[in-house]
Structures are given as C-alpha cells and as structure tokens.
Structure 1
Amino acid sequence: MLYFRDFEFNPSTSTLYRHGDVVALTETQLNLLILLLNEPEKIWSKEAILQVLWQDKDVTEQVVFQTISQLRAVLGSDAIQTFPKRGYKWQLSLTQARAQLSVNKTPIQHSGSRFWVVSALLFIFTCGIAYLGAQQSSLQKATSKYALALSPITATPHSEVESQIVQQLNEALSTQLDVELSPLKKVNTLTSRQSHTLKPHEGTRMLTVHGEITKLSMAGGVSYLLDYTLSGESRQWQSFVIADDVALLANRVHGQIERLSHSRYFELVSENQVTAELTLMNAASSDNLSIAYVLISQLIERLEYDRASTLLHQYQNQLRDKEQFHQALFNLLKGQLLYGQGQNALAVQSLNLADKQFEKLKLAGLQSETKQLLVQSLSLTEEYRILKMYLIDAAQLAKLAGRTQLELASYYQLSKLAARHQQSTDKYRYLALVSQVVTQFGLDESHLMLRDYHQAIFAKVASEKLTHLQRAILRPVSEENRWVYYAVADLASNLLITEKNWQGLVAFTAALNDDVLRAKLIAKKQVAMGSAEAWHYVERAFEVARQESNYWVSVPMALLLLKLESEQVSDHLHIYQSHIEQFASPSFKARHSQYL
C-alpha cells in the first residue's frame, strides 16, 4: 500500500481508499493519479499527459486542467503543484515501500510523437477494469437507503400559481418518490444558496423534501420553477428545477433526488470531500445545470476561483436562449465570482443585469439576494444613501417573497452599514426592526443572537459589551446561528483575557452548552496565563474538536499548537499542519502560511 495524508492507494488493484472507504474516481482521474504516483519527482507537461491519457483523441489542453482540478478537489488543492509553462508534479509526501504501478514506460523513436509503447494501452485497460471494481464497491457503500419524507410543496407568495397546479405537483412527487405527504414543519429558508451543515437526524437516516413553486412567464411561454431543499443527515441541498409542465417538473426533481440519495453528499462533513463529491456528480451529469450551479457556488465560497471560472464558462455554453432563468443565475454567479476576485466594477455590471432579469421573472427572493450582493460590491465607491436604498429594497423584496431569513439579513446588513458610516441612529433602528420581525412571525429567540452580538460590537464600554454577550449565549443555538455562538464566545473570552478577569472567564465558560467550545476557552485561558501545561489543554481541545468534526475549533487549535514552542508539540507538527491543509479555508491558510 502507498500512503499519503489520510489516503491509501493499492497499486495492485489501482484502488484509492480514505479511512477504509473506497474513493470513487472517474477513469481519467484514476489514470492521472497513477501516472503522478508512478513518478512523483517528474514534472509532467500538458502534452505528455494528453499523449498518455487521451492518446489520439481530439481533445484540447483544457481537459488536462479540468482533470487536475478534479483530482485536487479529492486530494487537496496542494496535492499537485503547477509549474508555469512546464507542467504538473506530485507534491505530497509518500510513505511505505512504493510498489511499481502497472505502467511500463519505454521511449520509442517514432517522429518523437509517442512516449509510450503498447504497454501503456494495456495499463489504461487494466486501470479501467480496476476502476469499475472500485466504482462498484463505492456504489454499494453509497446506495444505502434513505427514508424520504415529503413536506407539502407550497406556492411562492404572490407567484400566481393556481392551487390545482400545486396539488398536481404534490401528487406527482408523492407518486414518483413513493412517499406520502408529511405535515412536517417547514425549515426556514436560508439566506445562502450554498450547502449548509445541519444537525444529524437521530436514528433513521432521513431525507426531507420541501420547497416552493413559482410560475414564470417567459418568452417561450409559461414554465414552473421549484426552489426546493433536500435535508439530510449532516447537510442539506438547495437548488432549482425548471420545466414547462408539472409532470416533467416532478420527473426532474425525482431524478435529481435519486442521484443525490445514491451519493455520499449527505454523509460528508469536510468541505473538501463535499467539493470532490460534487465534482464527481457534475462530471457524471454534465448537462445538469442544477448540480453545476451548486458546485460553482461551493467553489466560489471556498475561494477556488480558477475552477469556478472554468465551470462557469461551461455553464454559460450550455444555456439556450429560452432559459432566461438560468441566464439570470449565470449573471448572479458571475457577479459573485468577480466580487471574490476583487473586480468590483465588473461584478456590479453582472449583478445589475441579474437584478433586472430576476425582476422581469418576478423572483423577488433571488432579486433580494442580488441586491445584497450589489451593496457589497458597491460599498467602497457609493455613498451611504445609495447603499441604504438598495438594502431597503432587498428587505422589501424578501418580505414580498416570504423569505424571512433574507429580510433579517437585510436589516443586519443595514445596521452594519450604518455603523461603518457612523450613522448611530440608523444602526440601532435596523436592529430594532430585527426584533419586530422575530416577534411578528413568532420566530424563536435564536434569531436574536446576532442582534445581541451586534449590540456588543457597537457598545463602547467593556462591561456593556459583556452584558450583551452574556445575553447572547443564553439564546437557543441552531445550525444557522452556531457561527454567531462561536463568535460571541471568542469576543467575550478575548475581552475577559484582556482584562485578566480569570474568574469571569471561568464563569462564562461554564455557561456554555458546547463541550468543544468549552475546551477551546479553557485552552485559551491557559495560554493567556502562561501556563507551562498550556500545550496539553490546547491539544485536548484540538482532539475533542477533531473527534466531533468541529473544524471551527480544531483548525484554530491546530494553528495555536503550531505557534507554541514545546517539545511535546514538535513531535506532532505534521499532524497539525496536515489538519489545517485539509480542513481550513483557503483564506485561513493564506493568512497563516508561515506556519504551514
């Protein structure tokens, strides 16, 4: 076996494992992996890779770039190094005796155009057979059955969808999914279209379907759009399906749910693994714009702009003139990408176009999201009055669409904007509107945690800040506001450490209802006090967080361990570095590259 990171590769069967599970790779990805592992010190040019993997097929160099990107998504972005104008080289350290992989390279003199003899063809054939075996084994793992629950699909507010259409869709989905309608409580629509981690279901593995249908009047006639969510064990899928009639819409939703339920998407925790799984799904269904949309959104959020740009170009090439909805989504994605790349002026152009397209389609929720992104892109150039107008429009559109979470997000953004422009009255006015919305719609107090956090940031006196933070940690914790809970704990612990209020820090830590977070604050206290045993507490926090797959804590604790000068820590530096490389965001790694 050949080992790198937490992967194992069996040369005799050409199978890649991770934590004992087979990693599903396409045939091309597997062949490329074998090629790189066989000569890890060699820099492979694009031409050489094309010659070996694609032989005489009529393909461009773009397929090399795409396959490299897909393999990086599985193994980690640093697994394969790019040498500009030269090629690609394996980058990860390999352990154990490396058996020669099943490829025999023999240069031949034939116009210099071929690098391999017939044994290379045999090698690719062998890899294909091994790949099929790996795929079958992986599929057996992935096809574990989920129980499906279907919450009644509803009409988007003010969407003019007839009641009989809604009824027909529910009946069609119930029949195709072979489930009865369940009167389950609808999950609040999140403010982002990315995948979101949820608390795992207890007991039965469950996938819950819920969504809203909208009627679209487009140039080609009437179409129906389903904005649906599929909630699983550890995350949820949010996407769109569009069709000209209800039967086709239900059929497309059924096909997508079938595909998702046979993947490992809902079982994964690491965002690296999720990106890899989405990449494989997209490769297997290259004509499915819904999967491509989710993958591109994921890549933009992870700051993998090169891959996102390539896939976005492919997305655009698949659009047809009549697909006005997907054209609007394309412009929204393009605006997000350009904003992430710092090209704000170009981002504004794309987002303005998306804004007009969503307005024409009467998709108030997506128009609200677009206006919020516009404010971020314009924040450095436009005056407060203009930005405020955009966000007020976003809040009103969210209210019209029945997207309460989006409305709250607009008010929070208005409050932050007012604070940045030193508009003291406005920053508190919009926080008051948050309270009104929570009360009006009977939302639980978890939605007030971010309000408390903002009030703590706005407060000028440390004691007043702590009062707001102590109120915040008593709010209910949900998966949507858990990041706020962790931010509250960090801000409060930093304030108490600055004041050397150790007793107050102990009391605050004891009030937390999260064991992992408590371990982190105890570790921070020991480090701040200069304890000789501080490394022990930090390591404990790291291990507890890692066991729980809590990367919000494990990653900063791994970094803290790298910063500590200790003989005990030095023995495990590679563990902490590898953990950060695998689970930290690209921006986090960029900020702390000196320790990696």
Structure 2
Amino acid sequence: MPIRANEANLLALLLSDPGTIFSKETILDIVWSDKIVSEQAVFQNISNLRGIFGESAIKTFSRKGYQWQFALEDAPLTGLSKLKSPQDLLIKSTQKPPIKIRNIVLVSLTTILFLFIFLINTHKEPNSHSPAQQKLTIMILPFCMEDKTQEYLIACRRISKAVKQKLARSTSLRPVSSASTVSFMDFTNTPNDYFKSLTMSSHGDLVLAGKVRMHKGIYMLRYALKGERNAWHGEFQSHHIGELATQVTSHIEKVATTPLLMTRQNSEYQESAQLQVLHHKYPNDLIIFERLITRLFNNGDLDKAVLLADELKASALADNNLLYHAKADLLLGNILIEQGLTSNGEAHLQTALRFFQQQEDYRSQSDTFKALALAERNRLDYLGIKSKLQQAASLARLANDPLREIAAMSYLFIFAHKLDQNEDKAEFLNQAELLLDQYRLPAEHYAEIYLHRAMISDSPLDIEQYTRRILALFTSEREDWVITSAQMILTDLLIKQSRWQEAHALFSTQASLQVNENYLVATIYYVQQDFEKAASYGMKSFKNANLNGDKGAALDAALLLFQINKALEKPDEQIRFKHFINKDSTLWWTQHNLDKLALAGLSNKHKAAGD
C-alpha cells in the first residue's frame, strides 16, 4: 500500500535537510503550496509518519517546528526487489506541480529509497540480528491442557517441543518453558492479568499460548502472543508437525519484535500504518494480511478493506491455503454486508461456512453466524437476527469459548433493545450475566453487562451504581471502550445533578488524561461557565485527537470548542473550528450529533448536499 502523496512530500522535505527545524508555516507553504489547509493537516501527517517510523523519528520543537531525528545510513537494497520501479510508490497526478513541489519531487526517489532502507534496518529479518543484540524472552505456556485421547496428547507434546526447539535457534527470541497451569482459553479471555503474573517471576517480555486441534490427519495450532501492550493471534494448519512448527516460529519472529506488541498504540490509525509497513515487508504472510484488513474494516475504511480482502483470497488460493481462503470469504461477507450489499455478502459467508463445517471448526462457524445475523439486521428481520445469534451462541459453547457465547447473548440483547423486543431484551441480558457466573470469569467481564443495564435504566441511582461498578473494575491506566462509555454516562449524570466536585473527582487522581477524559473535563467546566479552563482542556483533547488520527474525537472536541469560543466572544476561533467541522465531518458523525449541531447553530452539510 503506497505512502500517501502529502506524507511522501512531507517526508521528502524533512529528509532534504535533516538538521533543519521546519516550521508549520514552511511545511504548509511547501507541501500544500497549491491548497489552503489548516495547521491540522501538518499535525495529522506528522502523526501518520510517526505511526510508520516510530514516535522518536520526528521531534517537535515547541513554537519552532519539526526535525527528522534518524541518521541516513547505507543498507542493502534487497527490500526494493519486489517493486517494479520506485515510481510504484508515488502518487500520480495529471497536473503539473508547482515549482516548490517539483523541488521536492527531485528528492522523492531518495525518499522512497530511504523508506525501504529504514524498514530494512528497523525490521530486520531474524537472522540479521547482531549477536550482541539482547534477545526478547518469550515464555511458552503448555499447549496441552485438556484431557483428551492419548493420540492427541502425544501430537500436542510433539508440536509444543518442535516449536520450542525452533525458537531456541532464534537470534531474536529466547524461549522459556512455563510450568503454569493456565489454559489457553483462560489466558486469551483475560490476557492482561495473566501476563503480569507470568512475566513478573521470569522477567519475560512475551507470553505464547497455544491450542492444538486435530481433524482428519491435519494438525491445527491456534496461538496467542501477548506483549506488554498488545496481543497477536494466528492460526496454522499442516499435515506435518515439523512444517507446522516451522510456519509458527517463522511468523512469530516476524511480529514479536515489532512495535505492535511492545508499544502502546495511540490510535487504531497508527496501528493501521504499522500493519501496512509489516505487510509491505512480508506480503506473503497471510496472518499479517488478514489483521491489516480487519483493522481497516474496524476503522471504517470499507472500500480499501474489500479490495484487500479480494487480494487475500487470491493469495490464499495461490498458496493452496484453504483456511485463509475461507477466512477471506468471512471478511468479504462482513465488509459487503456493512456496505449494504447484503446478498453478495451472504454468498461469501455461506462459502466460508461450508469450509468451517467440514473442518468442524465451531469457533469460526460461530463468527460466521454472527455475521449472517448482521445480514438479517439489514433487512430489519428480528426473528432472523435472533435465530442466527442463537446458533452463534450454541456453536461458541461447542467450541468451549465462553466469551464468544456471552458476546452472542449481548448482541441478542442489543438488537432486542433497538427493535423494542422488551421481553427478550431482559431475558438475554440476564442469560449473559448467568453465563458469566457459570463460567466463573474474572470480574472485569461483567463491565459490559453493567454498561447495558446503565444504558437502559430510567433510575439515576441505578445508572450511577452500575457506572461506578465499571470504573472500580479497572486501574486508572487501563484503556477500554467500556471505561470510556461509563465515564461519559456518569459525567453526564453528575453534571445534570450539579455535583461538580464529584464530577471533577472522576479525573483528578490521574497523572495524565486521555483524549476523551480531557473532553469530559472541558465539558464540565463549560457547563460551569468557566470558559477559559474549558477552552484549555478542550484544546488538549482536540490536539491529541488529531495527533492520534482519531477523527471522531477531534470533531467532538471541535464542536465543543466552537461553543466555548462563542461564549468567549472569539469569532476568529469560532471560524477556525467551524471550518474544521465543515471540512472533516462524516455523515455518521453528523447523524449522531444533529441536536448538538442545531444547538450550536451549525448547518448539516450532508443534508445540504442531499446525503
């Protein structure tokens, strides 16, 4: 996937004189010489480049500008071998570039060359590590934790031993066996808690858990690799244990030392950029490819996701990898249904389902029925939704996957709630909570149940009780969408009740605030009519959201800042944020903020355009 035109031009400018600090004005004048854009364009593109090269690649000098930090070094050009020409990475234009842009184009080939040299140096192949380089310690949990047949246990132990032996020869990883009795399912259900306890004693960097399955002579290994910040999942199949172990270890070496596992992801867009880099380096790794497509899908980039899912399907077919051929169909089905192409999406899902049924893969069958329920959602067919999600729950139970079963029940509750099926709504939510009790899952898994109860309750006392329960389940450093949702609901309640001290207390104990937390503090001060403090926290939210590539959060902050500056009688600032909203608002965001836009006196550009 090519680096975008403005990013390439900005990178070229920074590399044209690495010792220079380029001001925002200079960058705007050169990179966007033929357009009128705001400073946010600079923030966004700097953030995207940092997402690709790392936070330390570009240094910010307060009130001065930006400077490239890494030295340009010679390196082998093997990374270029898969490109027909360097022009493959350039964005073509039919217009003649302005003089200043033409100056940048003169160094663009150098820029693209450096891009691949940088990737080669920062993501070297495992066998290119220096002997002096410190290895990452990877703790391996026992793969065989289930009481099955003797044949299964023997095969499982052979696979586990083969993986350990191959990892022992790695130049980047040092495997350590664990005597822990934590099962694969327990570890993957609550990885953060187990990771801390497992790595504390061994000073490990990574934890590898695996689950072996056998079907008609095929060995299957599903694994989870957990780093300090994030987790990575994959699945392999082979008729031969040695080949299976080679596939697993080769793949793990590719991803174990990347920022995706060891570095906090500021946003899903930065994760997407890093996945694109990894896919460029390992285009034949289907697990990396699948994860990239899934991230694009979750980001809402459906057009790009569907094109790449077609490529994944073709690549899997060329490799005779029937598993990822079916996974590509599952992805295509989900994406097409979200695009409104329901019948086309269902056809792909039925193809995937047939393969998963042949393999007796109940987990993937459950995922497919969940996707088929979304097709029924497009038709507003409640009975169809209910039938498909109940099948998804039953299959998850056969797969011994409690969280998937509970998730299906939660979806049943959500659709019953949205479609006014009140009897079913209460029943499904109660069933989900009973399953949590039955499986004795850790307390944090109750958070989503509490959130649902808070969202449908008419009692302020119950709403407060449930949201405070959620916040008590997590540490202040933990990031989770359930926490964000609970903070928003509770803050709104405390504001309505004018309980200002308690509202501020929700955020006063934290060393630093996240984007949404700065927004909520700004909202509290705005309602209190302390507009200067509201503006200060609102700007923190706005700037960090833009740096993180979180467009929705940036738009939320911009709308609040428009209202704050209206109260402060600062028309220039009002124009600034109005322009940002008009330029960057999406149809989805506009539809979810119609009342706020009307209250602020801002027009709906999508309605005006006839959307």
Report the equivalent of 1:207: 206
RMSD over equivalenced CA pairs, Å: 5.1
Write the deviation string for residues 134-162 of structure 1: whole angstroms up to 9, x where unpaired: 34543479967422111122478989971
Report the equivalent of 2:118: 134
Contact in 1 for aligned 2:413/2:428 (Cα 8 Å): yes
Contact in 1 for aligned 2:559/2:581 (Cα 8 Å): no
Q: Write out aligned runs for 1:432-447 (5 A).
A: 432-447=430-445
Contact in 2 for aligned 1:415/1:427 (Cα 8 Å): yes
Contact in 1 for aligned 2:138/2:206 (Cα 8 Å): yes
Report the equivalent of 1:181: 177
Q: Tell me: CA distance 1:429–1:380, structure 2 relative to 1, closer, same or farther (3 Å).
A: same
Contact in 2 for aligned 1:470/1:508 (Cα 8 Å): no
Write the deviation string for residues 59-97 of structure 1: whole angstroms up to 9, x where unpaired: xxxxx5xx46xxxxxxxxxxx7x98xx58989xxx9xx9
1:339 and 1:199 mapped to 2: Cα distance?
39
Report the equivalent of 2:38: none
Contact in 2 for aligned 1:520/1:557 (Cα 8 Å): yes
Report the equivalent of 1:561: 561
Report the equivalent of 1:339: 337
Contact in 1 for aligned 2:270/2:548 (Cα 8 Å): no
1:417 and 1:520 mapped to 2: Cα distance?
30
Contact in 2 for aligned 1:189/1:403 (Cα 8 Å): no
Report the equivalent of 2:235: 240
2:149 and 2:331 mapped to 1: Cα distance?
24
1:242 and 1:480 mapped to 2: Cα distance?
35
Structure (1/2) with the larger helix percentage: 2
Contact in 1 for aligned 2:187/2:209 (Cα 8 Å): no
Q: Write out aligned runs for 1:288-367 (5 A).
A: 288-320=285-317, 323-367=321-365
Deviates more, 1:312-321 or 1:498-507: 498-507
1:232 and 1:578 mapped to 2: Cα distance?
37
2:113 and 2:378 mapped to 1: Cα distance?
56
Write the deviation string for residues 250-296 of structure 1: whole angstroms up to 9, x where unpaired: 11111011111343332361433322222232233222222211111
Q: Residue 530 of structure 1: SS of its match in structure 2?
A: coil
Report the equivalent of 1:10: 15
Deviates more, 1:4-13 or 1:313-322: 4-13
Deviates more, 1:307-316 or 1:169-178: 307-316
1:164 paired with 2:145, answer: no
Q: Residue 207 of structure 2: SS of its match in structure 1?
A: strand
Aligned-residue offset at 1:99: 9.9
Q: Residue 524 of structure 2: SS of its match in structure 1?
A: helix
Report the equivalent of 2:406: 408
2:77 and 2:586 mapped to 1: Cα distance?
29
Aligned-residue offset at 1:230: 1.3
Q: Tell me: CA distance 1:155–1:293, structure 2 relative to 1, closer, same or farther (3 Å).
A: farther
Contact in 2 for aligned 1:538/1:560 (Cα 8 Å): yes
Contact in 2 for aligned 1:160/1:215 (Cα 8 Å): no
Amino acid at match of 2:386: K
Aligned-residue offset at 1:21: 5.7
1:159 and 1:305 mapped to 2: Cα distance?
44
Q: Residue 222 of structure 2: SS of its match in structure 1?
A: strand
Contact in 2 for aligned 1:581/1:589 (Cα 8 Å): no
Q: Tell me: CA distance 1:513–1:128, structure 2 relative to 1, closer, same or farther (3 Å).
A: closer
Contact in 1 for aligned 2:223/2:235 (Cα 8 Å): yes
1:529 and 1:371 mapped to 2: Cα distance?
48
Q: Write out aligned runs for 1:571-590 (5 A).
A: none
Amino acid at match of 2:314: N
Aligned residue-pair number: 517
Report the equivalent of 2:608: none
Amino acid at match of 2:296: L
Contact in 1 for aligned 2:207/2:225 (Cα 8 Å): yes
Contact in 1 for aligned 2:495/2:524 (Cα 8 Å): yes
Write the deviation string for residues 418-444 of structure 1: whole angstroms up to 9, x where unpaired: 222333232222222222222222222
Write the deviation string for residues 526-546 of structure 1: whole angstroms up to 9, x where unpaired: 112222322123345667889
Deviates more, 1:289-298 or 1:322-331: 322-331
Amino acid at match of 1:538: G
Contact in 1 for aligned 2:590/2:604 (Cα 8 Å): no
Q: Write out aligned runs for 1:218-233 (5 A).
A: 222-233=217-228
Q: Which TM-score applies when normalising by structure 2?
A: 0.69
Report the equivalent of 1:44: none
Report the equivalent of 1:380: 378
Report the equivalent of 2:28: none
Contact in 1 for aligned 2:370/2:392 (Cα 8 Å): yes
Q: Residue 9 of structure 1: SS of its match in structure 2?
A: helix
1:547 and 1:199 mapped to 2: Cα distance?
30
Aligned-residue offset at 1:329: 0.7
Q: Residue 342 of structure 1: SS of its match in structure 2?
A: coil
Aligned identity (percent) is: 19
Q: Tell me: CA distance 1:253–1:562, structure 2 relative to 1, closer, same or farther (3 Å).
A: farther
Aligned-residue offset at 1:236: 1.5
2:96 and 2:336 mapped to 1: Cα distance?
27
Q: Which TM-score applies when normalising by structure 1?
A: 0.71
1:349 and 1:327 mapped to 2: Cα distance?
14
Contact in 2 for aligned 1:331/1:350 (Cα 8 Å): yes
Write the deviation string for residues 85-134 of structure 1: whole angstroms up to 9, x where unpaired: x58989xxx9xx98945839xxxxxxxxxxxxxxxxxx95x668756653
Deviates more, 1:348-357 or 1:9-18: 9-18
Contact in 2 for aligned 1:303/1:340 (Cα 8 Å): no
2:460 and 2:291 mapped to 1: Cα distance?
42
Candidates 227, 247, 271, aligned match of 1:274:
271
Amino acid at match of 1:213: V
Candidates 246, 253, 266, aligned match of 1:258:
253
Aligned-residue offset at 1:344: 2.1
Q: Tell me: CA distance 1:410–1:6, structure 2 relative to 1, closer, same or farther (3 Å).
A: farther
Contact in 2 for aligned 1:234/1:268 (Cα 8 Å): yes
Deviates more, 1:470-479 or 1:401-410: 470-479
1:395 and 1:479 mapped to 2: Cα distance?
32
2:214 and 2:582 mapped to 1: Cα distance?
46
Which consecutive residues of structure 2, in runs of 5 or more, have no partner in the other structure?
A: 1-6, 20-48, 60-67, 169-174, 594-602, 606-611
Q: Residue 472 of structure 2: SS of its match in structure 1?
A: coil
Q: Tell me: CA distance 1:524–1:134, structure 2 relative to 1, closer, same or farther (3 Å).
A: same
Write the deviation string for residues 538-588 of structure 1: whole angstroms up to 9, x where unpaired: 345667889999999777446633654268996899999999999x99965
Aligned-residue offset at 1:359: 1.7
Amino acid at match of 1:147: T
1:103 paired with 2:99, answer: no
Q: Residue 231 of structure 2: SS of its match in structure 1?
A: strand
Q: Residue 523 of structure 2: SS of its match in structure 1?
A: helix
Contact in 2 for aligned 1:150/1:182 (Cα 8 Å): yes
1:488 paired with 2:472, answer: no
Aligned-residue offset at 1:522: 2.8
Which consecutive residues of structure 1, in runs of 5 or more, have no partner in the other structure?
A: 32-48, 55-63, 69-79, 105-122, 193-197
Deviates more, 1:437-446 or 1:129-138: 129-138
Q: Residue 448 of structure 1: SS of its match in structure 2?
A: helix
